[in-house]
Every structure is written in structure tokens, then in C-alpha cells.
Amino acid sequence: MEGREARKQDIILAGVGGQGILSIAYVIDHAALDEGLNLRQAEVHGMAQRGGAVQSHLRLSSETVYSDLIPRGGADMILSVEPLEALRYLDSLAPWGVVVTSATPFRNIPDYPDLEDILERLRRVPKHAVADSEKLAKEAGSSRAQNMVMLGAASPFLMLKEDGLLRHIENLFKPRGANLADINLKAFRLGRAAASS
């Protein structure tokens, strides 16, 4: 790629089964392909167990991507729909990386740690965005849209164009009804505004 700087972004998607990690991956993947980027996505682990920890590695680049897995300490972004899951992957984050996480816990274990302690530790990361995904999703029209709130919160830090992300949110949800597409588009915009404020 003579005369053009390579573009790349390594993202760890994290959350809990049933929170819509696959939908986030779908939108990012398709927006990246629209921009002519190469991508590799590691298998999403944990999806079979609803309420179990879920994570996937997503690698975008203008050059060939040879491995599905992001090396430890090499992630440009952790994008999590659950705060404890964001904390779980902090050692994967590069020094320049950003953590984008929901402040809404999914208490799937009896001894879930203190939420304020988790959030305080996440806020110590120099670049971070913490969004109240439950509140914003309800404002958009459905608490199930928390994943799109978090994609919106991550969007200012993604190397992808906002219009491509919006187009593929619409592509994903419109077949299930125009109202559902509108809710998820609104959720994305509320998340983006929260991260930018």
C-alpha cells in the first residue's frame, strides 16, 4: 500500500450470553467490508450458555490479517455490554487502547463483586467511556437495545464511518419491523451522544 498508511483496529467484544454480541459483530463486520477492509473474527465463545460469559476477537485492517486472535496487550478497544466482563479483559488492552463499557451489571453469579469498585477500576483506564446502557435503551424504546447503545458509545472510537454502522443496524433490524429498526437506531444515537459528552 504505497503512499497510504495502513489502517487497523483490534477489538475484543465482551458480555454475557443473550446480550446481543453477535448483532454488534454483524454491524461492525458489514460496515468494515463496505469500507474495503479485511476482517477476521474469532469464534464467539460462551454463546450456547445464556447468561454465561461471551467474548470474541474482531480484527479489522486495510492489510491482510493473518490471525483471528488479538495478542495479549494488543487490543485497541474492549467493547463490553457488561462491566465485569470489561474488567476481565483489561490485560488484553494496549496502553493506548480504549475501554467502552456498560455501567449496567448482569448479575449472573451469586457473589457478583461491588459494582462501584468495578466501575472505579475501569475509569482508571486513561481512555474510557462508560454508558448507562439500560437507561438509554429504555429511553430508545426497549431495554433489549443495550447492545446498540454500546455500539453507539464505541462509534466515536471506531475507525468506521458512522453512516455505514447506521445502515447495517437498519439492515439487521428492519426485516423484523420498522419500529424495531427505529428503536435500535435511536439506541445507537443515544449511546454515541453519551460517549461524546
Q: Residue 132 domain-assigned?
A: yes
Average pLDDT over residues 118-147: 96
Q: How many structural domains compose the chain? A: 1
Q: What Å distances lie between residue 183 and 35, 87, 103, 155, CA to CA?
A: 25, 29, 20, 17
Which amino acid, 105? P
In terms of residue numbers, what domain contains 155? 8-196
Q: Residue 110 domain-assigned?
A: yes
Residue 1's CB: how many other CB atoms inside 10 A? 8
Average pLDDT over residues 7-26: 90
- Band of pLDDT at residue 66, cut at 50, 70 and 90: confident
Q: Residue 159 domain-assigned?
A: yes
Return the CATH number at 174.
Answer: 3.40.920.10
Q: Residue 3 domain-assigned?
A: no
